[in-house]
Homo-oligomer: A and B are copies of this chain.
Amino acid sequence: MFDRIDHIGVAVAPEDLEDQIAYHRDVLGLELVHRETVESQGVEAVLFDVGENHVELISPLGPETGVAKFLAKNGPGMHHVAYQTSDIVSALATLKERGVTLIDEQPRVGIRNSRVAFLHPKSTGKVLTELTEPAH
């Protein structure tokens, strides 16, 4: 069902975003490949390549966003894992059939015109889990 880990998402407070970009780029030596405001998820997102995988820094656009609430509760750090699939509609149907509670019954548009959907943490051992199908 999944080809690889697409990315890990790391929650970052807006005031720390430039420092975290510098850490991933200049200290870890990862290539910054994309930066985008993803209104549907309420975040400023910055993507780095690690081989075929990515690190996605996500910083909230406002205090009512999910990531802002995550930061208020947990502080900065790992926020979610995203698994890559070539057929997100089929993967969601399979997971639902297997009893997973879906946050997104239908995929929505994510970063770089990918199609994405989140699974509910109550079904995943509290690991916020995203499926992503890259744009073709």
A77 contact set on B, CB distance < 8 A: 121, 125-128
Is A33 engaged at the interface, CB distance under 8 Å to the other chain? no
Besides the known contacts A4-B51, A78-B78, 14 further A-B residue pairs in the complex with CB atoms under 8 A apart: A2-B29, A3-B50, A3-B51, A8-B81, A10-B125, A10-B127, A23-B124, A27-B99, A28-B95, A29-B94, A50-B83, A55-B81, A77-B127, A78-B81
Can you show 24 pairs from A to B with CB atoms below 8 A apart? A2-B29, A2-B30, A2-B51, A4-B51, A5-B5, A5-B51, A8-B78, A10-B125, A12-B125, A16-B125, A19-B125, A23-B124, A23-B125, A27-B98, A27-B100, A28-B95, A29-B94, A50-B83, A53-B53, A74-B74, A76-B125, A77-B121, A77-B125, A78-B80
